Chains A and B, each alone.
Chain A
Amino acid sequence: MLAGFFLHSVEEGLLFGILTLGVYVSFRVLNFPDLTVDGSYPLGAAVAGIMIFRGVNPFLTLPVAVLAGALAGLMTGVLHTKLKIAPLLAGIITMICLYSINLRIMGRPNISLSPYLGHKTVISILKGLNLPLKSVYLIPLVFFLVVLVLKLLLDLFLHTESGLAIRATGNNEEMARAQGINTDTSKLIGLSLSNGLVALAGALFAQYQGFSDIGMGIGMIIAGLASVIIGGALIRGKTIGLITLGVVVGAIVYRLAIAAALKWGYNLGFKPTDLKLLTGLLVIVILAFPILRAKMKTKTARLSKDIAIRK
C-alpha cells in the first residue's frame, strides 16, 4: 500500500520534473519570471487530449504539444521583447489568452482519455507491450529514462554556443549585448524551449491521469518554482548538470510532500481542495527561510555579544 503510494508519487514527480526543467530555463537561466506556464501546461494536455480523442497516434501528440507550447512561449517573448511589456505581465497575458484557446482546442472543459472508451494513450500502449517487466515498474522506468534524456539534452544545449548566449543574457544582459549577443533572440529561444518542455509535461500528464482538464494548469508555476527551489536546497552544485539534477529531484520530493500532506493531512482537517493553499504556504516558507535564518543568526550573534560585554 505504502509502496504503491510512493511509486505513484515518484511517477508523477518524474513527469512533473519535465515541467520543472522548463521552469528552470525561464526562471533561473533566463532570469525571466514566466507565468505562461499556467497556460502552456494545460495547452499540452489539451492538444494531446483532442488528438487522442480523434484517434491520432498518442506518440504523435508529443511533438505537436511541444510545438504548441513553444509557440505560447514565443508569444510571451514577443510581447516582452518587441512590445516592451514587463515579463510578469507578458506571461499573464499569454496565460489568459491560452485559457480561451485551450477551451477552443478541446471544444469542452474536460476530455476523458480512458482505455475503457477505446482511447489509446502512450501509457496504455506501454502497458500493452507485454514486456517481461511488470507494468508497475515499467512505467516509472520509462518515465525515468525520458526525464533523464531530456535533462541530458538540456545540459548539452546549455553548453553550446547558443545555450551560452541564453545563459549570458539571463545573467548580465548588458554584458551579453556588448559581446554581440542578440538578447531578444536569446529570450525568444529560451521561452520557447521552456514552454515546449512544460507543454510536453502537460501532454504526458493528461495521458497518465486519463483526462485533460481546462483547470489543470492553475498554480503550476508556483509548484514548479517550489520544486526548483527545493532541488537547489537538496543538491548544492554550481554546474549545470548538478543543477538540473536537483531540479528533477526537487520535483519528485515536492510531489511526495504534497501526496503525504494529502494522505495524512486529512487527519489534521485538510481537504484535497486545500492543495493550492498548502502549495502557496510551502513556497512562502521556502522563500522566507533564508531571510528568517539570517535574521535569527544576527539576533543570536548580537545576544551573545551583549552577554560577552556584560561579563
Chain B
Amino acid sequence: MLKITHLNKTFFKGSVNENLVLKDINLNAPHTDFVTIIGSNGAGKTTLLNIISGVFPPEEGRIEINGMDATNLPEHKRASLIGRVFQNPLQGTASSLTLEENLAIATLRGKKRGLNLAVTRKKREEFREKLRTLGLGLERRLHQRVGLLSGGQRQALTILMAVLAKPKLLLLDEHTASLDPKTGQLIISLTKRIIDENQLTTLMVTHNMEQALKLGNRTIMMEEGEIIFDVSGKEKEKMTVNDLLEKFSQIKKKKLVEDKMLLV
C-alpha cells in the first residue's frame, strides 16, 4: 500500500546549516496497516509525513502509494490518495468558511472543481448525516463558520474531511497533542472508528508512548532521521512503555559505541 525505499532528505544542503533529516528510510506498510511512529523532537517524524504527502520533494528515494509511483506527484495531485490531520487544529480547516463549505471542499478532493454550486441541498443532507455520526451536535451548525468551533470540534471535523473523499492512506501528525486529555480521548476513539470503517492504511505520529503501543498493529521508533526500531503483531502487544524505553537506550548506547569506534 505504502512503500518507501531509500528515502533521503537534507535541509539547507551545501550550507553551514546542512541538516540530514532523513537517512535511508525504508518502510513498507501493507493495506490496513496502522503504524504508530514515536521518537524525540527532531527525529524526522513530521518531515517523513510531509514528504509522503508531497509538501516538499525527497532528495533521493521512491514513494509508492497504492501501487503508483508518487515520488514526483505535486501535493494537490496526491491529495486524493491521502487524508491528513495536523497537530494544530487550525491547520486542517478553513476558519472563515462554514462547516458545509469546508466539507464540500473535502468531497471534491481529486475531482475537477467547476462552476457547479459547491453546496447543494443533497450534499447538505449528506453532510448532516456524516456530522451526526460524530455525536458532537455539529449537524445543527452547518451554516456556522468553522472559526467558531473549539479545537476538539475542529479536529473531529478535520478527521471527517480527511476521509470524506475515500483516501487510501491516512497521515496523523500528533493530532491530539494540543487537545485536553478528555477531548483527545474522544478524538482517538473517533480516529479508530473511522480507520476501521474506511479500511485505511494509517501512519500516526505521537509523543505518547502508551498511546503508540495501545493503538495500531505496528510501532516504529525514529531517531536522528533513521528508523531504529520496528515492532509489530504479537511482539508489539506484549510491549510496555518500560520495554520501549529500555530498547531505546540500548540502541542509543550501541550507536554511541559504534560512533566512538569510528573515532578511535
Q: B-contacting residues of A (Cβ < 8 Å)?
A: 157, 159-165, 167-168, 171-172, 174-183, 238
Contacts and interface: CB of A to CB of B under 8 A. Distances in A.
Contacts of B94: 167-168, 171-172, 175-176
A180 B97 contact: no
Contact of A160 (B90, B118, B145, B161): B118
Contacts of B101: 164, 167
6 contacts: A160-B118, A161-B104, A176-B94, A177-B76, A178-B75, A181-B113
Interface of B: 53, 55, 74-77, 79-80, 84, 86, 90-97, 101, 104-106, 108-110, 113-119, 145, 161, 165
A199 B172 CA distance: 46
B118 A161 contact: yes
A168 B105 contact: yes
B160 to A, nearest CB: 12
Given A159-B117, A164-B118, A238-B145, A172 B105 contact: no
Contacts of B95: 171-172
Contacts of A171: 94-97
A161 B114 CA distance: 6
Contacts of A165: 105, 108, 113
Contacts of B161: 179
Nearest to A186: B113
A165 B112 CA distance: 11
Contacts of A164: 97, 101, 104-105, 113, 118
B115 A160 contact: yes
A159 B76 contact: no
Contacts of B116: 160-161
Given A164-B101, A171-B94, A172-B91, A180 B114 contact: no
Contact of A178 (B53, B108, B110, B118): B53
Give the top 10 A-B pairs by smallest Cβ distance, nearest first: A180-B79, A180-B109, A161-B113, A171-B94, A164-B118, A172-B94, A182-B76, A168-B94, A177-B75, A161-B118
Contacts of B80: 180
Contacts of A162: 113-115
A159 B115 CA distance: 9
A290 B162 CA distance: 37
A179 B113 contact: no
* Residue in A171, A175, A181 whose Cβ sees the most chain B Cβ within 10 Å: A175
B92 to A, nearest CB: 6
A180 B115 contact: no
Contact of B105 (A159, A179, A183): A179
Given A168-B105, A175-B92, A178-B53, A163 B118 contact: yes
Nearest to A178: B84
Nearest to A166: B113
Nearest to B79: A180
B155 to A, nearest CB: 13
A180 B110 contact: yes
Given A160-B118, A164-B104, A178 B113 contact: no
Nearest to A181: B76
Contacts of A175: 91-94
A161 B95 CA distance: 17
Nearest to A172: B94
Given A172-B94, A177-B79, 6 more contacts: A177-B55, A177-B75, A180-B76, A180-B79, A180-B109, A181-B113
B244 to A, nearest CB: 31
A179 B114 contact: no
Nearest to B82: A178
Nearest to A174: B91
Contacts of B91: 172, 174-175
Contacts of B108: 161, 165, 179-180
Contacts of B74: 182
Nearest to B83: A178
Nearest to B96: A171
Contacts of B75: 177-178
Nearest to B93: A175
B106 A179 contact: yes
B166 to A, nearest CB: 12
